[in-house]
Structures are given as C-alpha cells and as structure tokens.
Amino acid sequence: MRKITITLLLLVSLVSFSQEPFRYDTIRVSDNDSRNIHQLKNRQQANTATQNRNRARVQANRPSVNSSFDPRKLRYGINFGLNFSNNYSLFRLAPQVGYQFNKYVMTGVGVSYYHSKRKYYYDRDQVTHYNNSLGANAFAYLYPVNFIAFSLQPELNYIWRSSKDNIGEFNKTDVLVPSVVIGAGLRFGRAHAMLYYDLVQDTNSPYSSGLFYGISVYF
C-alpha cells in the first residue's frame, strides 16, 4: 500500500511539473551574457531608436522644396512722380505687384502711365508738346546683401504725342517703344533708392538718355 501511495505522489508531481509553462526568461544568466533575452530586447530597442534619429536627421538636412503659393510673400509697390513749373509739368503713376521668393530675389509685373507737358519758345512763337505713355513691364530685384539692390525691368510703352503752336495747329504721332531698364542702388527695408539706365536708348523712350534716379516702395 505504501508503494502504491508513493507511486501516485510521484505521478501527480510529474504531471503538475509538466503543466508549468516553459519560459526562456526563467533561465538565469548573467546580465552581460549574450543569451540574456532582456539584453537582446534592449539592444533591439536601442537600434530602433538610433535608426529613427538618423532618419529624422537626414530629413532635417534635406532641403525643403515648397512650391505652393504663399500670399504673405506678395509685395505691392508704386512709383509716383509729380513735377510742376512754368514751362514743364509731369505726372507719373506706376503700380507694381511682386512676389518675394526669398531674401535674395523678388520678381513681378506692373503697369505705368505718365503725362508731361513742355513749352518751347522760338522767337515770338510758343510751341507746347504733350506726351502720354501707357506701358506694361516685368521686373526682378536681386539682393546680394541686405542693403544693396540690382534690378532689371523690360517694358513696352505705347506713346502718343501732340504739339500745339500759337495758331492752334496740332501735330500728332503715335509710337510703340521698347525699353530695358537696369538699376543699382540701396535698399532701406522695403524702399529702394536706385540709379537707372535704359539700355535700348530709343529716341522716343519715356526715359532720359542718361542715368536717372528713382525711388520705389513695396509693402
């Protein structure tokens, strides 16, 4: 009877031991042992974190290309001229719209209108010349440094002129005049103080034959 009881107890013990789940982490090894499953998990997590940091660093160093239109970069400007005297008067208005791509480049388009009147005296005769011009232009500003500006402005002007003498006779002419105006000067915030020169030098150009001065402001 005793042998049967001992045999039953041994069988129950074996069955109970076989029901216990076998887990690798129950094997006790040194923390520095390569078989340590916790050390392996930690290495995998460290490698994953390192890879994520490297990806983030590469993404940050990659130049960003943003081709979307940003209305905050629009610039609105105007060139305005007004001059009155006994023998000469001038009115000029030229609104411009530009886009500031970055701190080095701004480009845009604009229109212009000017009217001038000049009186000439020949002995007892007086002749008054009237000039009107309506034009369209494209322009670009380059800023190599913050306070220096260079500009290029091709444009096309439709000019109609008339002359009137003492008798009241009129002479009228209409011409289409191209111009390519280059400029260089100083930049003060969004204002430009520039010296300009017309490369085409057409005899009917609304610009003077030499250097001329201009100020423009963009908001």
Averaged pLDDT, groups of 10, the chain, 219 residues long: 62 52 53 56 69 71 64 89 77 92 96 88 81 94 96 95 80 91 93 92 82 86
pTM score: 0.62
Q: Which residues pair with 198 in a beta bridge?
A: 181
Whether 57 and 15 share a structural domain? yes
Whether 98 and 31 share a structural domain? no
**pLDDT computed for residue 7 by the predictor:** 64
**pLDDT computed for residue 40 by the predictor:** 54
| Cα(43)–Cα(29) distance, integer angstroms | 17
Per DSSP, the three-state class of 73 is: helix
Domain count for the chain? 2
- Domain ranges, residue 144: 71-218
Any domain includes 155: yes
Whether 100 and 204 share a structural domain? yes
**pLDDT computed for residue 65 by the predictor:** 44
Whether 90 and 15 share a structural domain? no
Any domain includes 66: no
Whether 94 and 127 share a structural domain? yes
Whether 115 and 55 share a structural domain? no
Whether 55 and 134 share a structural domain? no
| Cα(25)–Cα(32) distance, integer angstroms | 14
